[in-house]
Amino acid sequence: MSTTLDSSLRHGAATDLDLGRMVEAERVHRRVFVDSDVFELEMDRIFGRSWIYVGHESQIPNPGDYFTTQVGRQPVVMTRHADGTIHVLENRCPHKGAIVCPERSGHTKRLVCMYHGWSFEADGSLAGVPVRSGYDNTCFDPTNRANGMKRLPRVENYRGFVFASLVADGPDLKTWAGEGMRGFDSVVDRAPEGQIEIVGDCFRTVQNSNWKIFIDNMSDGMHTSFVHYQTARAAKRTLEKFKIEHAGGLQVATLLAGEPDQMAKTDLVAHPNGHFDMAAFAPEPKGTDAEKYKAEMIARHGEAGAQAILGRNFHNAMLFPTALMQPSLQQLRVIRPLAVDKTLLEIWVFRLKGAPDSFTSRAITAANIGNSPSNLVAADDFEAYYRVHAGLKGPESDWVRLSREANRDIPVGSSLKGSSGNSEVCMRNMYQAWSQYMSVQ
C-alpha cells in the first residue's frame, strides 16, 4: 500500500471505491470503525439486508404479547397474534408514522396508536380508525385491513429464535447462516426437553465504541491475559484464601479466563459470511445436579447422542452481525448499533427446559459476573473498546493490524480454523465478509 493511497483514504466522504480499499488481508483501515458515512452505509448494506436477530418466541408466550426492538435503524415490534403466529411489524403508525408501542414489552388486546387512536391487530392488520366518515371519497380506505402496520418482508423462526430481514430478496436464513447456527443448535440441544426459554428481562449496556470493536473482541483470545489479568488474579487469590469451590466451576472459569496459555489451546473457527465460534474453556459442571442432568440426556439421546451434544460446546458463537450465543453460559448477547460510536448490547439468559434449576441459577450468576452492566469482567473490556475507538478517531491512526498467525489457518470444509486460540483468523474473516457485504450497492 503506497503512502499516496494511504493518505487518499484519510479524508472526504466514503465512496464505494474507498470501501473496496479499506479491508486488506492483514489490516483494516480506521475509517471502517469511526467514519459516520461508513456507519450509514452499514445500516443499508448489512443491517438493512441481512438476517437480524429479533427475539425469542418465549418472550411473547401468549396472544397479545409483544416485544419491541430494532432491525438496523428500523424500530420493530415482535407480536403474538390471536392464532398463535408470530409477526415482526414496523413499529410505526401508517397514519403519521408515530411509534405505536413505546414500551420494551407488554400485552394488549390491540395495538393502539396514542396520537389519533388508530388500532391494529397483532398481525398488523388495521382494526379501527376513529371518525371513519372523514375518509369518505378520499384515497384512503379505513376499512381495508391491509392498510395497517407493515410486516417485515422476511421473518423466520429457527428453533424458537426469531430473525427478520428488511428486504424481500436474499438467501434463506439457514443457507446464509450455515455453520453460524452452531451456537443456536447447541443451546437448544443441551435442553433435555429440546426447548429453552428466556429468563426474565435482558440486561442492557451501552458501549461508547463501534459495534465491530465488540465483535472483534469476541474471538480475541490474546487480550484476556492482559485486560482481565487483575480480575483473574483477585479471583484466584480469593478462591485459594477461602478455599471456595463453586459447583461446575463456571463462575471461577469465567474469572480465570486470564490464565496464561489457557486461551491458546482454545479452538477458533471462522465461517463464511463473517460468522465464527470459539470453543468453550469453562469446565463442565460437577455435582449431583450435573449427574442427574447427564443421566437425563443419556436417557433421551443414548450414550453416543448425549456425548455428541455435550462434547460440542462453545464459549462464543457469533452469527454476524447481531447474535452472539454462549451455549456453555446459557446466554445470548445481541448487538444493536445505535451510532458509529454507540453500541447497545442486550444480554439474555436462558433456562434449559428439563435441566435442574441450579443450571439456571448458575447462568444468572455467570451473567452477573461476566456480562451484566455491573459485572467484574467486561468493564475492563469496555475500557479497551473505548480506547480503541478513541485512538482510531485520530486521522493519523490509519490501519488496524490483524497479522497474528496469518497464513497458518487450517481449512475445515468451507471454514478456517486458527492455528491456535491466539489467532486473529476470525477477525480477518469477519472483515473480509464485511467488505463483501459493503461492496453490494
Residues forming contacts to ligand FES in the complex (CB under 6 A) are: 93, 95-96, 98, 113, 115-118
Q: Which does 130 bind (CB under 5 to 8 A by kind): Fe ion, ligand FES, none?
A: none
Q: How far is the CB of 276 from Fe ion (least distance, A)?
A: 16
Residue placing its CB nearer to ligand FES in the complex, 148 or 183: 148
Output the smallest distance, CB 93 to ligand FES, in A.
3
**Close Cβ partners of 360 (under 8 Å, ≥ 6 residues apart):** 199, 330, 349, 351, 352
CB-nearer residue toward Fe ion: 54 or 257: 257
Sorted by sequence, the CB contacts under 8 Å of residue 206 that are 6+ apart come out as 338, 342, 343, 344, 345
Distance CA 186, CA 181 (A): 9
Residues 324-383 that bind Fe ion (CB under 5 A): 381
Site string for Fe ion, 378-407 (x = CB under 5 A): ---x--------------------------
* Residue tagged 466451576 (cell numbers): 249
Question: With CB cut-offs between 5 and 8 Å by kind, which of Fe ion, ligand FES, none does residue 98 bind?
Answer: ligand FES
SS3 285: coil
> With CB cut-offs between 5 and 8 Å by kind, which of ligand FES, Fe ion, none does residue 113 bind?
ligand FES
Assess contact for 78 and 88: CB atoms under 8 A: yes
For residues 131-160, which are near Fe ion according to CB under 5 A?
none
Tally of residues, the chain: 441
Residue 381's SS3 state is: helix
Q: Which of residues 228-247 bind Fe ion (CB under 5 A)?
A: none
CA–CA dist 257, 219 (Å, integer): 13
**What totals of helices (H) and strands (E) does the chain contain, helices first?**
14, 22
Toward Fe ion, which CB reaches closer, 52 or 232?
232
What residue 381 binds from ligand FES, Fe ion, none (CB within 5 to 8 A, per partner kind)? Fe ion
- Residue 115: which of Fe ion, ligand FES, none does it interact with, CB under 5 to 8 A by kind? ligand FES
Q: Amino acid letter at 116?
A: H
51 binds, among ligand FES, Fe ion, none (CB under 5 to 8 A by kind): none
Partner whose binding site includes residue 95, from ligand FES, Fe ion, none (CB under 5 to 8 Å by kind) = ligand FES
Name the minimum Å distance from CB 133 to ligand FES: 16
- For residue 39, the minimal CB distance to Fe ion (Å) is 24
* Residue 95 C-beta: closest distance to ligand FES, Å: 3
Check residue 216 for interaction with Fe ion (CB under 5 A): no
Q: Judge whether 317 and 325 are in contact, CB under 8 Å.
A: yes
- Residue 97 beta carbon to ligand FES: minimum distance, rounded to whole angstroms: 6
Nearest to 110 by CA among 77, 142, 155, 132: 77
Cα-based distances in Å from 26 to 20, 84, 158, 396, 399? 14, 49, 34, 19, 10
Cα 301 to Cα 191: distance, rounded to the nearest angstrom: 11
Shortest Å, Cβ 132 to ligand FES: 13
Cα separation, 393 vs 130, whole angstroms? 51
CB of 118 to ligand FES, least distance (A): 4
Closest CB to ligand FES among residues 92, 351: 92
Query: Which residue has its beta carbon closest to Fe ion?
Result: 381
49 binds, among Fe ion, ligand FES, none (CB under 5 to 8 A by kind): none
Tell me if the bond preceding 283 is cis, omega within 30° of 0: no
Q: Extract the C-alpha cell encoding 100.
A: 405505536
- Pick what 96 binds: Fe ion, ligand FES, none; C-beta below 5 to 8 Å, kind-dependent: ligand FES
Phi-psi region of 404 (alpha: psi -120 to 50; beta: other; left: phi over 0): beta
Question: Grid coordinates standing for 257?
Answer: 479466563
Min CB(336)–ligand FES separation in Å:
25
Phi, psi of 6 (to 5 degrees): -60, -50
Binding site for Fe ion (CB under 5 A): 381
